[in-house]
Amino acid sequence: MTSKTVLAAPARRREAALRLRSARLSYGERVLWDGLDLDIRPGEFLAVLGPNGSGKTSLMRVLLGQQQLSSGSAEVVGHPAGKANHRIGYIPQQRALDSQLVLRGRDLVGLGLDGHRWGLGLRGRAERRRRVDRVLAEVGATEYADQPVGLLSGGEQQRLRVAQALVGDPELLLCDEPLLSLDLANQRVVSELIDARRRSAGTAVLFVTHEINPVLPLVDRVLYLVDGRFQIGSPDEVMTSENLTRLYRTPVDVLRVRGQIVVVGAQNSAHHLPEGS
């Protein structure tokens, strides 16, 4: 009998990256969501969908501790929301940076590092530089890392924002419509970078989007919010005519066309329905 080398399984984080229990958020009379129970496990990709005003941004603010729940609880990697922000990476929407901005790409990325973690001595600076260089290479931005960010293209700037979000090795990535206003090629680049990191490092991803199709192959589960109602499940479970008709309280057809999902409602022909339709 030949002896086999038994490789130790990598240490697994057991706690959910995010845990909501009986979460309710209301502003005055308006209930955005109620009874929301949600765990996102390490490495999971959750898309948050819903029309404007359904509470997607508010959900991210809750997780960052900027907005209190009306009732229930919210935890990030086992800590009350707001107490673990250094373990969260945040990728915002792409907006053109001021062309006069002289900050270099690598400086923008370095802003994503907690300044106190490695100290400010020589060793600390070397470690910061090593981490910035590594993440710049990961997103393919090494070539333009020393140029002023204001002179870079929208796609290049967005790669740097992804690098900034990843440089602190987050356990949860909050993505706030990060593909908006990017062309198709750059949408693909950015979503593949996020996907690669969650697969290699087990980073959980909460991805707010109006348009599921660019990330459909990556999505494990969907949280669909509409006017106080919600549903959680796989894209196949949630994205059906029956479910969306119930959530929107108006007839909605969900069509599958060439592997893409098209949602058609009474007053809309785009992917999602506008508020109040």
Q: Using CB under 6 A as the criterion, which residues of the chain lie in contact with ligand ADP when the complex forms?
A: 27, 32, 50, 52-58
Task: List Cβ neighbours of 31 (8 Å cut-off, separation of 6 or more).
Answer: 24, 25, 228
By beta-carbon proximity to ligand ADP, the closer residue of 50 and 89 is 50
Q: Report whether 204 contacts 44 (CB < 8 A).
A: yes
CB of 180 to ligand ADP, least distance (A): 12
Cα 191 → chain centroid = 10
CB of 211 to ligand ADP, least distance (A): 14
By beta-carbon proximity to ligand ADP, the closer residue of 64 and 151 is 64
CB of 68 to ligand ADP, least distance (A): 10
By beta-carbon proximity to ligand ADP, the closer residue of 56 and 197 is 56
By beta-carbon proximity to ligand ADP, the closer residue of 28 and 259 is 28
CB of 228 to ligand ADP, least distance (A): 10
By beta-carbon proximity to ligand ADP, the closer residue of 62 and 193 is 62
CB of 49 to ligand ADP, least distance (A): 9
CB of 30 to ligand ADP, least distance (A): 7
By beta-carbon proximity to ligand ADP, the closer residue of 32 and 167 is 32
